């Protein structure tokens, strides 16, 4: 494996540490009382300006890997893809307010939007809304002042401008995907940080982000040297444009007549709905979506980007090295591989017992990540059954079995399942202490004591499926090869196929080609002979599996208008118990057990604005409407 560059640590993470240490209680670039740090001094030289750029990256290009005491759960905790024992382990996901969300009790000041650095404060105050605007303000400050740098040529300044425009667009997208229409800030806020700008329509927000992406793409380089890995490129701007246009074309915002009744409880039924959706359905939005995805695909090669496909579909059983990884698992294990368009390298900074790696790597992202000490990230069987069998047919889990590791392998599922989930009885190399061995999740039985990984804060549970995607088990258990994929090329293959099917009311040759390229890399058979609805179901399921645990599931269910059905359900799991086999050996008997009943009210389709912002009355018209979303 090629040795990665450390510039992302020495430049961005290192600068970030210094910035945070000197200005953690003040808005960066605001002159402290009696101090000498001003906009003029920060933007005087390239070296000084890089501090402002690093701060912009830290707030705008964030990672959704659990990383510290204020950034806790995987984002999939909000969906059918993840269950963490409640209430016993609620501390692991309280920062995203998942416990109240999953039980249908989310409030305006306990929503599930959390910006970088807001963390547990957001759980108490709903403060993440403002953190997005901190990032936007930082990007606007960089954009406004970068021309003041005296020792940089215009090419360098234009590059930084492109990065700033992209960062501003990215955080407007992040707000849009949670709230719908939001205040648009094309310029830096005043020093007091107050927003005081009315919500804009969905159309205005989407159009603004698209315009900024086009502007950024015109300024950003096609490629960067390896020493600048993690910095924004032209292809990243095209990727963001593609993603927001796909969202904008989807039923939540571009609602067909036959789905309006589904979402009516989350709409006003009057002119205010422009902040929630387009006034009417327009099929041409799907054309814009597939054209934007095609732009990403067409420009990928020039950017050195391509699908990571060596022809190895399956991970070798018991592997603990890169060579044994299947291509799907290698995509997030092989640092700086060619499929990644933009990543957040934030977790690159820190040591084994620092704030970053301890929290996200060893404790919160899985049980096997920290062995006895970890919090198990259980996969519900409702999500497990979305994986097809290896022959492409639907899989339904039997109600029980006598030997889980044997049964799991005999199910012969999509190879991506085995590269995502650690199960009881699987060989696994732990990142804690270099341990090797089979995973002991089972409860006590037939004279066998409970397995070491069955124990938890609430006693033995026997839960047998633990998500290990983004958990170190190769390279001697080194966590440092992980970077959060903000964009990777596979997403846009699937976006292109989805949008083509929607626009043409059925799949064409290209739609099949790009869907099946992703399936082929995974070792799955091609899809063929499907009508519009059959292909829609196939591409949506493919997206769910391919992008699992990368932060897409929540918003995909929202934009498809499927969250109120998929997330109003009982989540169940597999539990194992030790049993003595005929030869006296340990067998893992298993059965299906209940986890919890998840609740998703229709009003959840749009998050509520925090009460402290709504009370200022700038979000709405200031007279008859305070700007809050319906139902809140």
d(C-alpha 58, C-alpha 322), whole Å: 29
Contact 208, 181 (CB under 8 A): no
The domain segmentation of the chain, as residue ranges, is 40-305+606-615
Q: What is the DSSP letter of 9?
A: I
Q: Is 153 exposed, middle or buried (0-12, 13-18, 19+ CB in 10 A)?
A: exposed
533 token code pair: 């609805």
37-51, 473-487, 524-538: range with highest mean pLDDT: 524-538
| Segment holding 538, helix H or strand E | helix 532-546
Instruction: Note the pLDDT of residue 291.
Output: 98
CB under 8 Å to 29, separation ≥6 — which residues?
37, 38, 39, 42, 52, 138, 141
Least confident of 331-335, 473-477, 565-569, 581-585: 473-477
Q: Is the pLDDT of residue 441 over 70?
A: yes
243 token code pair: 């993603």
Q: Is 68 exposed, middle or buried (0-12, 13-18, 19+ CB in 10 A)?
A: buried
Instruction: Note the pLDDT of residue 24.
Output: 34
Mean pLDDT over the full length of the chain: 88
Phi, psi of 137 (to 5 degrees): -65, -40
d(C-alpha 628, C-alpha 623), whole Å: 13
Q: Is the pLDDT of residue 118 over 90?
A: no
Strands (DSSP E) along 181-243, which ranges? none
Q: Is the pLDDT of residue 120 over 50?
A: no
Higher pLDDT, 145 or 36: 145
616 token code pair: 């200022």
Least confident of 70-84, 311-325, 435-449, 537-551: 70-84
472 token code pair: 């170190």
3-state class of 422 per DSSP? Answer: strand
List, for residues 80-110, the tens digit of each pLDDT value. Answer: 999 999 998 888 888 788 999 999 999 998 8
Question: Is the dihedral angle over the CA atoms 462, 464, 467, 468 positive or is it negative?
Answer: positive
Contact 204, 184 (CB under 8 A): yes
Q: Is the pLDDT of residue 626 over 90?
A: yes
List, for residues 504-552, the tens digit of each pLDDT value. Answer: 999 999 999 999 999 999 999 999 999 999 999 999 999 999 999 999 9
Nearest CA among 543, 546, 573 for reference residue 557:
543
Nearest CA among 507, 183, 174, 480 for reference residue 352:
480
8 token code pair: 């992302």
Beta bridge partners of 342: 487
d(C-alpha 112, C-alpha 75), whole Å: 9
557 token code pair: 């269910």
Q: How far is CA 283 from CA 19, 160, 273, 499, 512, in A?
A: 47, 36, 19, 10, 20
Instruction: Note the pLDDT of residue 455.
Output: 82
Number of H helices, E strands in the chain: 23, 9
| Segment holding 163, helix H or strand E | helix 154-179
Q: In the predicted model, what is the mean pLDDT of residues 23-38?
A: 42
Q: In the predicted model, what is the mean pLDDT of residues 312-320?
A: 91
First to last CA, the chain: 52
496: how many CB neighbours lie within 10 A of its CB?
27
Nearest CA among 507, 497, 511, 368 for reference residue 433:
368
Q: Is the pLDDT of residue 72 over 90?
A: no
Q: What DSSP string runs through 282-299?
A: -THHHHHHHHHHHHHHHH
Label residue 351 by pLDDT band (50, 70, 90): very low
Q: How many Cα atoms occupy the beta-carbon half-sphere of 338 within 13 Å?
A: 12
3-state class of 25 per DSSP? Answer: coil
Instruction: Note the pLDDT of residue 126.
Output: 47
Q: In the predicted model, what is the mean pLDDT of residues 287-315?
A: 98
Instruction: Note the pLDDT of residue 457.
Output: 79
What global pTM score does this model have?
Answer: 0.92
Architecture of domain 40-305+606-615: Alpha Horseshoe (1.25)
Q: Is the pLDDT of residue 136 over 60?
A: yes
Q: Is the pLDDT of residue 29 over 80?
A: no
Q: Is the pLDDT of residue 321 over 50?
A: yes
Nearest CA among 352, 587, 391, 360 for reference residue 476:
352
Q: In the predicted model, what is the mean pLDDT of residues 582-600?
A: 97
d(C-alpha 110, C-alpha 466), whole Å: 27
Contact 265, 630 (CB under 8 A): yes
Tell me the three-class secondary structure of 324-378, residue by residue.
HCCHHHHHHHCCCCCCEEEEECHHHCCCCCCHHHHHHHHHHCCCCCCHHHCCCCE
Label residue 287 by pLDDT band (50, 70, 90): very high
Q: In the predicted model, what is the mean pLDDT of residues 612-631?
A: 93
d(C-alpha 95, C-alpha 30), whole Å: 28
258 token code pair: 């036959």
Contact 451, 372 (CB under 8 A): no
Q: In the predicted model, what is the mean pLDDT of residues 465-492?
A: 91
Instruction: Note the pLDDT of residue 110.
Output: 85
d(C-alpha 462, C-alpha 456), whole Å: 10
Instruction: Note the pLDDT of residue 32.
Output: 35
593 token code pair: 């057990």
d(C-alpha 577, C-alpha 590), whole Å: 6
């Amino acid at each position: 494996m090629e040795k990665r560059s450390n510039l992302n640590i020495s430049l961005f993470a290192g600068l970030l540490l210094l910035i945070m240490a000197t200005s953690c209680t003040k808005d960066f670039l605001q002159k402290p009382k009696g101090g000498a740090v001003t906009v003029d001094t920060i933007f005087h030289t390239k070296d000084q300006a890089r501090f402002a750029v690093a701060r912009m990256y830290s707030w705008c290009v964030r990672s959704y890997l659990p990383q510290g005491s204020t950034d806790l759960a995987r984002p999939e905790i909000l969906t059918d893809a993840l269950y963490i024992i409640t209430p016993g382990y609620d501390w692991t996901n309280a920062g995203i307010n998942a416990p109240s969300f999953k039980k249908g009790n989310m409030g305006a000041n306990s929503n599930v939007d959390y910006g970088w650095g807001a963390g547990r404060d957001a759980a108490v105050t709903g403060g993440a809304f403002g953190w997005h605007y901190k990032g936007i303000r930082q990007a606007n400050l960089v954009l406004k002042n970068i021309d003041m740098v005296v020792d940089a040529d215009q090419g360098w300044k234009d590059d930084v401008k492109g990065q700033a425009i992209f960062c501003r667009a990215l955080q407007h997208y992040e707000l849009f995907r949670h709230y719908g229409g939001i205040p648009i800030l094309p310029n830096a806020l005043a020093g007091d940080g107050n927003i005081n700008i009315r919500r804009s329509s969905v159309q205005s927000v989407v159009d603004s982000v698209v315009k900024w992406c086009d502007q950024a793409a015109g300024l950003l380089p096609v490629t960067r040297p390896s020493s600048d890995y993690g910095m924004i490129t032209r292809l990243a701007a095209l990727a963001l444009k593609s993603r927001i246009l796909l969202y904008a074309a989807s039923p939540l915002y571009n609602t067909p007549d036959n789905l309006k009744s589904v979402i009516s409880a989350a709409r006003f039924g009057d002119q205010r709905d422009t902040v929630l959706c387009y006034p009417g359905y327009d099929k041409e939005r799907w054309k814009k979506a597939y054209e934007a995805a095609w732009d990403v695909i067409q420009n990928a090669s020039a950017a050195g980007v391509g699908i990571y496909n060596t022809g190895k579909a399956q991970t070798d059983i018991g592997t603990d090295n890169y060579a044994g990884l299947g291509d799907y698992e290698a995509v997030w294990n092989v640092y700086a591989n060619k499929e990644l368009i933009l990543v957040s390298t934030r977790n690159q900074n820190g040591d084994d017992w620092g704030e970053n790696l301890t929290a996200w790597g060893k404790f919160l992202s899985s049980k096997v990540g920290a062995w006895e000490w970890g919090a198990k990230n259980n996969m519900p069987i409702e999500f497990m059954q979305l994986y097809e069998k290896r022959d492409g047919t639907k899989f339904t889990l039997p109600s029980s079995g006598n030997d889980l590791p044997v049964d799991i392998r005999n199910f012969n599922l999509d190879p991506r399942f085995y590269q995502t989930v650690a199960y009881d009885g699987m060989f696994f190399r732990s990142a804690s202490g270099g341990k090797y061995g089979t995973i002991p999740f089972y409860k006590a039985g037939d004279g066998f004591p409970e397995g070491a990984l069955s124990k938890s804060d609430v006693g033995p549970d026997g839960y047998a499926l633990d998500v290990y995607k983004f958990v170190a088990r190769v390279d001697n258990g080194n966590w440092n090869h992980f970077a959060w994929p903000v964009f990777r090329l596979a997403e846009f293959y699937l976006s292109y196929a989805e949008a083509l099917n929607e626009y043409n009311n059925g799949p064409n040759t290209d739609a099949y080609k790009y869907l099946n390229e992703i399936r082929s890399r995974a070792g799955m058979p091609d899809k063929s002979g499907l009508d519009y609805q059959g292909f829609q179901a196939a591409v949506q399921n493919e997206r769910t599996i391919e992008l699992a645990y990368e932060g897409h599931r929540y918003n995909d269910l929202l934009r498809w208008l499927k969250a109120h059905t998929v997330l109003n359900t009982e989540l169940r799991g597999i539990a194992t118990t030790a049993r003595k086999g005929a030869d006296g050996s340990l067998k893992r008997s298993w059965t299906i057990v209940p986890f919890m009943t998840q609740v998703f009210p229709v009003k959840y389709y749009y998050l509520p604005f925090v009460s402290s912002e709504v009370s200022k009355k700038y979000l709405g018209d200031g007279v008859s409407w305070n700007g809050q979303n319906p139902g809140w």
